[in-house]
């Protein structure tokens, strides 16, 4: 039998690669599009995670921003109303006590109860005059002091306070706590009608944004649960894809083998016939193109046998 020469890759590997590799590439592309952000010619394509977490993050951001703005406005209104309320009470008290001298104001216990009231959890009201002299404060050490002394130490605070000497004023300033922590405070100041006194109402603005922070914490929990669920679905997706690819590989292999084996058999038959084994049985029951090829080889076998028989008869005649 003549030596067989096989050049390059066989038909079976070619069929496997030709069918399986495009399928793998398709799954890879789908996986990238579903689970990874991509940038194609300057166009950003978000994955499912990007769309989900992005939408959740954007919803969280907008919700928190809106709720914080609403709560801040509400806090400012509450602080303002407190200042106006205390100013009205002082105005009424002063009118009811016309003999009360200004130098005796800070000594009046009833007026002190009116002037210094709580605002929120940690805030308070205080009273000073248009010269910047403090009359009532939650800190007794500040009573009687000139608030001009705070101009260099607390410029933002002093700017608001200075504006109040000409009329109602408000603003936010940073306040350093005893523990060194700096937090923003909001202050509203309003004059007491008929006097040169000014009521200041102030507290930490963050006191009123606690619900917003609670919402933020819950939104982060939801986002964390989403990412955790996404991670599990991500693993499950690739496990399913792996199982599908294995099944496809098995099916493609069996199908390719069913095509390649008859061709190999016919190749061996043709090789035997070429070597003179004219009685080789062609046992191929496959239909289609392979069946036609088997019939052609069978006809070729019959033709070669007939040709050899005619040649032998001619020799016998001679």
Question: 120-159 pLDDT, tens per residue?
Answer: 888 999 999 999 999 999 988 888 899 999 888 889 999 9
| Structure tokens given for 68 | 């914080």
pLDDT at 106: 79
Q: Which residues pair with 118 in a beta bridge?
A: 124
Q: Is residue 143 part of a domain?
A: yes
Rounded to an integer, what distance in angstroms lies between the CA atom of residue 178 and that of residue 140?
Answer: 16
Rounded to an integer, what distance in angstroms lies between the CA atom of residue 253 and that of residue 257?
Answer: 6
CA distances from 117 to 198, 265, 285 (A): 14, 103, 103
CA gyration radius, the chain:
47
pLDDT at 86 over 80: yes
Name the more confident of 197 and 22. Answer: 197
Q: Is residue 228 part of a domain?
A: no
Q: Are 54 and 46 in contact (CB under 8 A)?
A: yes
Q: Is residue 200 part of a domain?
A: yes
pLDDT range class, residue 196, cuts 50, 70, 90: very high
Q: Are 101 and 135 in contact (CB under 8 A)?
A: no
Q: Is residue 7 part of a domain?
A: no
Q: Is residue 135 part of a domain?
A: yes
Q: Is residue 261 part of a domain?
A: no
Q: Are 25 and 245 in contact (CB under 8 A)?
A: no
Q: Is residue 318 part of a domain?
A: no
| Structure tokens given for 132 | 């910047």
pLDDT at 251 over 90: no
pLDDT at 69: 73
In b/e form, how buried is each residue of 77-90, taking b as 16+ CB within 10 angstroms? Answer: ebbbebbebbbebb
Most confident of 29-38, 50-59, 84-93, 267-276: 84-93
Q: Are 106 and 136 in contact (CB under 8 A)?
A: yes
Name the more confident of 36 and 23. Answer: 23
Closest C-alpha among 62, 64, 75 to residue 213: 64
pLDDT range class, residue 2, cuts 50, 70, 90: very low
Domain CATH number, residue 200: 3.30.450.20
pLDDT range class, residue 1, cuts 50, 70, 90: very low
Q: Is residue 254 part of a domain?
A: no
pLDDT tens per residue, range 45-62: 555 555 555 555 655 565
Rounded to an integer, what distance in angstroms lies between the CA atom of residue 18 and that of residue 9?
Answer: 12
| Helix 210-274 / helix 288-317 crossing angle, nearest 10 deg | 10
Closest C-alpha among 199, 24, 19, 46 to residue 123: 199
pLDDT at 8: 56
In this prediction, residues 196-221 reach a mean pLDDT of 78
pLDDT at 133: 92
Q: Are 187 and 163 in contact (CB under 8 A)?
A: no
pLDDT tens per residue, range 271-311: 888 887 878 787 777 777 777 887 888 888 888 888 888 88
In this prediction, residues 265-273 reach a mean pLDDT of 83
pLDDT at 126: 95
Name the more confident of 213 and 77. Answer: 77
In this prediction, residues 67-72 reach a mean pLDDT of 73
Task: Please enumerate in sequence order all residues whose Cβ is within 8 A of that of 31, keeping only pairs 6 or more positions apart, or say none.
Answer: 237, 238, 241
| Structure tokens given for 124 | 């308070």
Q: How many domains does the chain have?
A: 1
The residue segments making up the domain with residue 118 are 76-212
Closest C-alpha among 141, 150, 72, 199 to residue 159: 150
pLDDT at 18: 72
pLDDT at 47: 57
pLDDT at 202 over 90: yes
């Amino acid at each position: 039998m003549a030596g067989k020469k096989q050049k390059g890759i066989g038909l079976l590997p070619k069929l496997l690669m030709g069918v399986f590799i495009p399928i793998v590439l398709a799954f890879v592309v789908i996986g990238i599009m579903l689970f990874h952000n991509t940038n194609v010619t300057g166009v950003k394509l978000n994955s499912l995670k990007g769309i989900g977490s992005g939408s959740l993050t954007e919803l969280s951001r907008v919700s928190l921003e809106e709720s914080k703005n609403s709560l801040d406005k509400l806090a400012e209104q509450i602080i303002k109303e407190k200042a106006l309320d205390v100013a009205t009470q002082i105005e009424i008290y002063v009118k009811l006590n016309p003999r009360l001298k200004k130098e005796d104001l800070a000594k009046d216990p009833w007026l002190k109860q009116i002037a210094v009231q709580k605002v929120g959890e940690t805030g308070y009201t205080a009273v000073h005059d248009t010269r910047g002299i403090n009359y009532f404060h939650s800190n007794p050490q500040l009573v009687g002091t000139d608030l001009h002394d705070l101009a260099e130490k607390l410029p933002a605070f002093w700017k608001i306070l200075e504006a109040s000497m000409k009329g109602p004023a408000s603003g936010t300033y940073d306040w350093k706590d005893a523990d060194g922590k700096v937090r923003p405070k909001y202050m509203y100041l309003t004059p007491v009608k008929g006097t040169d006194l000014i009521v200041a109402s102030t507290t930490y603005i963050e006191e009123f944004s606690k619900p917003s922070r609670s919402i933020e914490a819950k939104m982060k929990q939801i986002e964390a649960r989403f990412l955790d669920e996404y991670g599990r679905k991500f693993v499950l997706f690739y496990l399913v894809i792996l199982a599908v690819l294995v099944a496809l590989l098995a099916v493609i292999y069996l199908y390719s083998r069913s095509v390649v084996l008859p061709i190999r058999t016919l190749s061996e038959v043709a090789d035997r016939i070429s070597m003179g084994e004219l009685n080789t049985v062609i046992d191929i029951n496959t239909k289609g193109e392979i069946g036609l090829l088997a019939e052609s080889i069978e006809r070729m076998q019959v033709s070669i046998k007939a040709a050899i028989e005619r040649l032998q008869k001619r020799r016998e005649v001679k």
